[in-house]
């Protein structure tokens, strides 16, 4: 039986792609890998940003780094590349890192770098949702695990 594809944030798989050079490995990764074929993305790296990098937050129509650099175009490019992978691999479901300015699903930081969150989605998540991809956060993994049990 062919496994369904799952677009997944690379940092959730243990790849050190975070702004600080670390990862967000989730404990259920092996369980998920038995059920899905992973398509890894890190939109910020795919958009040309280095590791490590300054953290960024969405502020209005822009994405700004903590030092004030406008990285909006990097984030848009990363989202476009993620969408290309979705189309190439015919992905319908994604598991992305909550609260990231790229990958956030239900929450993002408020743009003031004060640790406060507001409801909203990251740039890549917005593009994927607009294109019909069902996007889950790591807080909703149980839904992905139950679907195939």
Distance of CA 42 to the CA centre of its chain: 7
**How many residues lie near ligand SF4 (CB under 6 A)?**
12
Q: How far is the CB of 78 from ligand SF4 (least distance, A)?
A: 7
Least distance between ligand SF4 and beta carbon 49 (Å) = 9
- Name the phi and psi angles at 4, rounded to 5: -70, 155
Quick note: the x/- pattern for ligand SF4 over 95-114, rule CB under 6 A, is --x--x-xx-----------
CA 21 from chain centre, in angstroms, equals 16
Q: Does 121 bind ligand SF4 (CB under 6 A)?
A: no
Neighbours of 57 (CB within 10 A): 18
Alpha carbons 92 and 5: distance in angstroms, whole number: 7
Q: Which is nearer to ligand SF4, 43 or 111 (CB)?
A: 43
- CB of 5 closer than 8 Å to CB of 39: yes
* Contact flags string 18-37 toward ligand SF4, x per CB under 6 A: x-------------------
CA distance 68 to 5: 37
Residue 47 in the binding site for ligand SF4 (CB under 6 A): no
64 binds ligand SF4 (CB under 6 A): no
Distance between CA atoms of residues 109 and 101, nearest Å: 7
Residues that bind ligand SF4 (CB under 6 A): 9-11, 17-18, 42-44, 97, 100, 102-103
């Amino acid at each position: 039986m062919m496994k369904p594809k799952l677009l997944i944030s690379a940092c959730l798989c243990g790849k050190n792609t975070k702004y600080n050079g670390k990862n967000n490995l989730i404990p259920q990764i092996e369980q998920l890998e038995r059920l899905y074929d992973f398509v890894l993305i890190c939109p910020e790296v795919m958009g040309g940003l280095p590791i490590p990098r300054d953290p960024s937050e969405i502020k209005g129509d822009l994405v700004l780094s903590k030092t004030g650099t406008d990285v909006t175009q990097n984030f848009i490019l990363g989202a476009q590349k993620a969408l290309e992978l979705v189309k190439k691999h015919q992905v319908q479901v994604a598991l992305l890192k909550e609260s990231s300015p790229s990958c956030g699903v239900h929450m993002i930081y408020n743009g003031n770098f004060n640790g406060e969150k507001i409801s909203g989605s990251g740039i890549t998540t917005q593009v994927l949702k607009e294109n019909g991809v069902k996007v889950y956060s790591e807080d909703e993994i149980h839904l992905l695990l139950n679907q195939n049990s």
